[in-house]
Structure formats: C-alpha cells, structure tokens
C-alpha cells in the first residue's frame, strides 16, 4: 500500500549532480519505472512495452548513461564474455610465428558465436606481482597454445574455478581437452619420403625443448628434459626412420635461428648431411639461406624438409614441407570452447598434416 506519488510531481528540483556516474537505478527512477524493468529494457530479454522501453532509453540518454556496467552484469550472469589465450612467450615473440597467428585467427573464428573478446596472457613463468594471471582473470574459458607443464599450477586453479580449458599443441594436463596434429606420424612420413629418395645422412633442426630455449647441438640430455611435446614428437617421428639422426636445437622458430643452425650443420663439407629435417618452415627457410651462403645447391647437394606449410615471404624455393591446418586447429579450439561453455562435453581433436612436395628435395648427389 505504498502511496503512489502524484503523477505530476516531477523532480524538477535541480538536485546536485553526484560525483558518481549514473546507474541503472538512477535511470529507472528518472523514467519512473523499477530497476528491474529498466534492466529488461536494456537487455531485451523480457517483455517490456515499447513505450516503456522508449521512456527508459530517453531517461538514460538524458542522464548520460552509457548502458549497463559490464562488471555488474558479469557478476550477476556469471559470464564475462571473455576468452583467455595463453601464449608461451612474450607478445612480440609469439606473433613473429605465423603458425601462432593463424591459430589465433582460427580461434577468433571458432568463438565468434560467443561474441567474446580475446584476452592475451603470456606464460612468463613469473606469476607473482600484481599481474592479472590466468588464475585471477574474468575469463569464461581459456585456450592454451603450446604451453609447458610449468602452467600446471595455473591449470589447477582453472579447474578449481570451473573454467573450461582447451590446449593446442601442448600437454597442459590430464583432463584438459587437446587439439593437436599428428606431429610424430607426419614427420615420420616426411622422413620416409627422404629415405625413399635415398638419403641416409640426415640432420635435424629442432624447435626448443624447454622454456630456457637453449640453442646448440642436439644432446640426449636436452631430449630427455623436454617439456615441449611438439618438438619431442616431431623428433621421435624422424627417429623412427633415422634412428641415429642428430642435429641442432634452435632457440625459437625463426629464419635467423634456422640460418644459424644451418651454418653449423653445413660448415664442414666432410660431415655435411645430404638432407635436413627442420621442425618448422621458418627454420627451413633459414637453412636454405645458410645453404645459399655456403654455396650448397638445393636440392642437388642438399634436400630440405620443413613443417607447417606457411608462406615464407621472399623465399625463392617451393619448400617441401608438412602442411598442417593451423587455422582449422585454432577454429577447432574455439568451437570446443563454445561447446564446453554450452555444457556439451566435446572430444579431443587430432588433425593430420599432408606432405607437400616442392623443389627443395631430391635424391642425394653422391
């Protein structure tokens, strides 16, 4: 029996504008409706007459109200509309890798139906400080790209909090959904192709095996201490065909690193391999540059096999490589996130790579 105030009693009195921004309640009061109604008018998820809605919108406009506060909304809804992406390195380094970019692009495609934003994190190892880590970020889900077991602690926090996670190319944990490719099998097929051509003296240029990104000769110690599945799997695939193959470890997937590794492997004509298996196209491109520098003819004197199937700008060769569906991988991860958030438990996905035969491989010269 609350006395309804006279209709005509407008709050014409110029009340002092408070320092605080207007809230939905203010708008509702101004429009003469309840906060609930005003909320419905904005979210459109309930029956509100057009007249009322117009009145609310008008009040909002007069008050300079810019729409519901995303913070309050996400608290109430339990969803923030943000998906976290964890990269293993710092932003600059991560985005120099075309595969990562393509994957990221695929993710945006995959989560498009969510209309969610992408929040970038880097697995810098140092979780301390005031930094907003994965552990304490308002994300609805997380995609881990090539992440090391170092994240186990954070992943555990995600699990506790009930935040779904999807891992691309990395063993983040037992119960984490995996999106991967046939690293091992694909490399084996590539290696078999080289063997079929007649190669026996094969060297490797691998991706880094640990977070320290040690560069140098490929040693059993490094292999054993590997925390990077991608590198290990591709190595194992090559070893299935060339059990004693060895080579160099690059610090990162880049042309420069490939160049350096290529110089080391090709420097001595006496020990020079007839073929090099690089674990990424960028590394392969670097090896090709090294061969060019040293006057080693490709493919006559040296065959080079890559991995990824990216376009390397400025490369003169048509690289023989294992083409992997980077974008599709990202998209699958995005779609998996969507399903997880919808409550449907999706299955892990394994993509396959295809061998593209270009002009950087041929039978050995000897």
Partner DNA sequence: GGCGCCACTCGAATCGATGCGGCCTAGAAT
Partner DNA sequence: ATTCTAGGCCGCATCGATTCGAGTGGCGCC
Residues that bind DNA (CB under 7 A): 1-2, 20-21, 23-25, 32-40, 42-43, 45-49, 51-52, 67-69, 71-73, 75-77
For its own copies, which stretch binds (CB under 8 A), given 89-97, 227-235, 242-250, 355-363?
89-97
Give which of DNA, its own copies, none residue 45 binds (C-beta under 5 to 8 Å, depending on kind). Answer: DNA
Paired sense of beta strands 275-278 and 320-323, if any: unpaired
Alpha-carbon gap, residue 243 to 235, rounded angstroms: 10
Task: Please say which residue, 44 or 243, places its beta carbon nearer to DNA.
Answer: 44
Give which of its own copies, DNA, none residue 39 binds (C-beta under 5 to 8 Å, depending on kind). Answer: DNA
For its own copies, which stretch binds (CB under 8 A), given 50-58, 116-124, 166-174, 220-228?
116-124
User: To the nearest whole angstrom, how small is the minimum distance from the Cβ of residue 136 to DNA?
Assistant: 9
Q: Which of 40, 312, 328, 333 binds its own copies (CB under 8 A)?
A: 312
Q: Quickly count: other Cβ atoms within 10 Å of residue 285's Cβ.
A: 28
Residues touching its own copies, count (CB under 8 A): 56
At 365 the three-state DSSP class reads coil
242 interacts with its own copies by CB under 8 A: no
Considering only residues 18-37, where is the footprint of its own copies by CB under 8 A? 21
Helices (H) and strands (E) in the chain, counts: 13, 13
Contact 230, 223 (CB under 8 A): no
Which DSSP string do the residues of 90-159 spell out, in sequence order? -HHHHTT-HHHHHHHHHHHHHTGGGT-EEEEEE--S---TT---GGGS--SEEEEES--GGGHHHHHHHH
Our CA angle for 111, 112, 114, nearest 5°, is 70
Alpha-carbon gap, residue 346 to 337, rounded angstroms: 9
Interacting residue ranges for its own copies, rule: CB under 8 A: 21, 64-68, 70-75, 78, 80-82, 84, 90-92, 95-96, 101-102, 104-105, 108, 114-122, 129-132, 135-138, 157, 160-162, 255-256, 285, 289, 312-315
């Amino acid at each position: 029996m609350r006395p309804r105030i006279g209709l005509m009693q407008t709050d014409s009195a110029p009340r002092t504008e408070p320092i605080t921004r207007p809230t939905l309640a203010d708008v509702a009061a101004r429009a003469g409706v309840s906060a609930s109604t005003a909320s419905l008018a904005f979210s459109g998820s309930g029956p509100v007459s057009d007249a009322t809605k117009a009145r609310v919108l008008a009040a909002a406009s007069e008050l300079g109200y810019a729409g519901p506060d995303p913070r309050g909304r996400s608290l109430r809804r339990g969803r923030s509309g943000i998906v976290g992406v964890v990269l293993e390195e710092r932003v600059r380094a991560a985005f120099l890798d075309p595969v990562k970019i393509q994957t990221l692009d695929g993710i945006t495609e995959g989560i498009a139906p969510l209309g969610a934003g992408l929040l970038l994190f880097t697995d810098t190892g140092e979780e301390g400080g005031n930094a907003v880590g994965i552990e304490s970020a308002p994300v609805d889900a997380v995609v881990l790209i090539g992440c090391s077991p170092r994240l186990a602690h954070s992943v555990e926090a995600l699990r506790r909090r009930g935040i779904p996670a999807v891992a691309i190319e990395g063993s983040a944990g037992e119960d984490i959904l995996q999106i991967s490719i046939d690293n091992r099998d694909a490399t084996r097929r590539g290696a078999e192709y080289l063997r079929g051509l007649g190669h026996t003296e094969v060297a490797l240029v691998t991706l880094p095996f640990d977070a320290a990104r040690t560069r140098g000769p490929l040693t059993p110690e490094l292999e054993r201490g590997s925390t990077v599945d991608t590198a290990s799997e591709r190595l194992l695939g090559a070893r299935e065909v060339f059990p004693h193959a060895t080579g160099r470890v690059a610090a990162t997937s880049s042309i420069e690193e490939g160049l350096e590794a290529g110089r080391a492997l090709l420097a001595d004509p006496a020990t020079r391999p007839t073929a090099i298996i690089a674990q990424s196209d960028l590394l392969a491109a670097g090896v090709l540059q090294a061969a060019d520098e040293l006057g080693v003819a490709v493919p006559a004197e040296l065959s080079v096999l890559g991995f990824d199937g990216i376009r390397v700008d400025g490369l003169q060769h048509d690289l023989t490589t294992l083409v992997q569906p980077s974008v599709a991988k990202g998209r699958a991860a995005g779609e998996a996130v969507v399903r997880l958030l919808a409550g449907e438990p999706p299955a892990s996905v394994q993509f396959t790579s295809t061998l593209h035969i270009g002009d950087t491989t041929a039978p050995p010269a000897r």
